[in-house]
């Protein structure tokens, strides 16, 4: 009797396990996500033959602006990314927003891939008032060897503080060999240290700032800034797919343990590699030290509060 029922029990156990796995997968797909670091790249921004994803080795498939938009939209829908803060030129952001005005929100990137100069301050303020952008960034000033404290950015920061426009700043590192690339001979690691933002926070105490890439790898500086300046938050972009999993987990956990779970936001830093979104979402979902509430906060709640998304 026992030998006959054992296979049936095993079969039943297998079915139950599959049900729970499927239910867990479905649950992860219904979790609402805001991607606070999403790039609206154009065909050719990375050359005629774009490089493979440095983490997965997979080549991008989209080769035209239309294909780039369509392939990204499929991924955003698949992972229930209901809002994406578009970092790019206003023109390219508009391409995305025109097709899906509910999902996409514009953020003014500088420097951008088209080498556009910053608009003058009067134009900048007019654009902000007219909601041409809801955030200022990604600001990749580090690639120019500059910091947000450089005097030339002061008038723009004053406008952002006045109008409640969040500033999204690249911090930390970049790809290997960045200073030797034709684009970025002035890039310096030191320019991306989180502490360089302190003079700005002193001068503009109501300015909301997001440190992109969690200030990685400058953990202690990042914790110090977050502790002293409550108007600062971080996103987990790139680190959530481009560095080894355990290193990402250790860094993220350190900020959680330090008490900053309400100021950490999900970002993919999706550029041209379609799998960046998939890799980054799954890394957060699988993080063994995060509770369901913490995942909900990172994926949606913290960003909704920071950007005023209803």
* Cβ-based neighbours of 253, under 8 Å, separated by 6 or more: 289
87-136: per-residue pLDDT in tens? 999 999 999 999 999 999 999 999 998 889 999 999 999 999 999 999 99
Q: What is the mean pLDDT of residues 26-45?
A: 84
Q: What is the mean pLDDT of residues 31-60?
A: 91
The reported pLDDT for the residue numbered 113 is: 86
Distance, in Å, from the CA atom of 274 to the CA atom of 284, rounded to the nearest integer, reads 17
Q: Measured in whole angstroms, how far is the alpha carbon of residue 144 from the centre of its chain?
A: 21
pTM of the model: 0.89
Given a contact cutoff of 8 angstroms between Cβ atoms, the answer to whether 272 and 58 are in contact is no
213-262: per-residue pLDDT in tens? 999 999 999 999 999 999 999 999 999 999 999 999 999 999 999 999 99
CB atoms within 10 A of CB 186: 12
pLDDT, the chain, mean = 91
7-29: per-residue pLDDT in tens? 444 444 444 444 444 444 444 45
Q: What is the mean pLDDT of residues 18-43?
A: 72
CB atoms within 10 A of CB 219: 16
Distance, in Å, from the CA atom of 227 to the CA atom of 152, rounded to the nearest integer, reads 28
Given a contact cutoff of 8 angstroms between Cβ atoms, the answer to whether 303 and 266 are in contact is yes
SS (H, E, C) the chain: CHHHHHHHHHHHHHHHHHHHHHHHHHHHHHCCEEEEEEECCCCCCCCCCCCCCCCCCCCCCCCCHHHHHHHHHHHHHHCCEEEEEEEECHHHHHHHHHHCCCCEEEEEEECCCCCCCCCCHHHHHHHHHCCCCCEEEEECHHHHCCCCCCHHHHHHHHHHHHHCCCEEEECCCCCCCHHHCCCCCCCCHHHHCHHHHHHHHHHCCCCCEEEEHHHCCCHHHHHHHHHHCCCEEEECCCHHHHCCHHHHHHHHHHHHHCCCHHHEECCCCECCCCHHHHHHHHHHHCCCCCCHHHHHHHHHHHHHHHHCCC
Query: Domains plus CATH for the chain?
Result: 30-307 (3.20.20.140)
Query: Both tokens of residue 238?
Result: 């790139």
């Amino acid at each position: 009797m026992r030998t006959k029922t054992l296979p049936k029990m095993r079969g039943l156990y297998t079915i139950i396990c599959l049900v729970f796995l499927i239910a867990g997968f479905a649950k992860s797909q219904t979790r609402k996500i805001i991607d606070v670091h999403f790039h609206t790249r154009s065909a050719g921004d990375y050359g005629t033959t774009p490089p493979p994803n440095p983490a997965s080795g997979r080549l991008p498939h989209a080769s035209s602006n239309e294909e780039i938009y369509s392939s990204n939209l499929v991924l955003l829908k698949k992972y229930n990314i209901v809002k994406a803060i578009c970092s790019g030129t206003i023109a390219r952001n508009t391409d995305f927003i025109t097709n899906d005005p509910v999902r996409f929100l514009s953020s003014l990137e500088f420097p951008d891939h088209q080498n556009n100069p910053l608009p003058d301050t009067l134009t900048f303020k007019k654009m902000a008032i007219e909601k041409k952008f809801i955030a200022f960034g990604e600001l990749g000033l580090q690639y120019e060897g500059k910091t947000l404290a450089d005097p030339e950015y002061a008038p723009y920061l004053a406008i952002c503080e006045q109008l409640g426009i969040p500033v999204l700043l690249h911090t930390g590192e970049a790809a290997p060999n960045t200073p030797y690339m034709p684009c970025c001979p002035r890039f310096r690691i030191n320019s991306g240290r989180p502490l360089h933002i302190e003079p700005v926070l002193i001068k503009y105490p109501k300015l909301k700032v997001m440190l992109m890439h969690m200030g990685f790898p400058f953990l202690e500086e990042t914790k110090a800034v977050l502790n002293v300046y409550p108007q600062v938050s971080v996103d987990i972009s790139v680190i959530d797919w481009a560095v080894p999993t355990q290193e990402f987990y250790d860094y993220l956990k350190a900020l959680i343990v330090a008490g900053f779970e309400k100021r950490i936001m999900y970002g993919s830093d999706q550029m041209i590699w379609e799998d960046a979104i998939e890799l980054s979402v799954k890394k957060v979902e699988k993080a063994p030290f995060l509770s369901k509430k913490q995942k909900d906060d990172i994926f949606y709640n913290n960003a909704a509060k920071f950007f005023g998304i209803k």
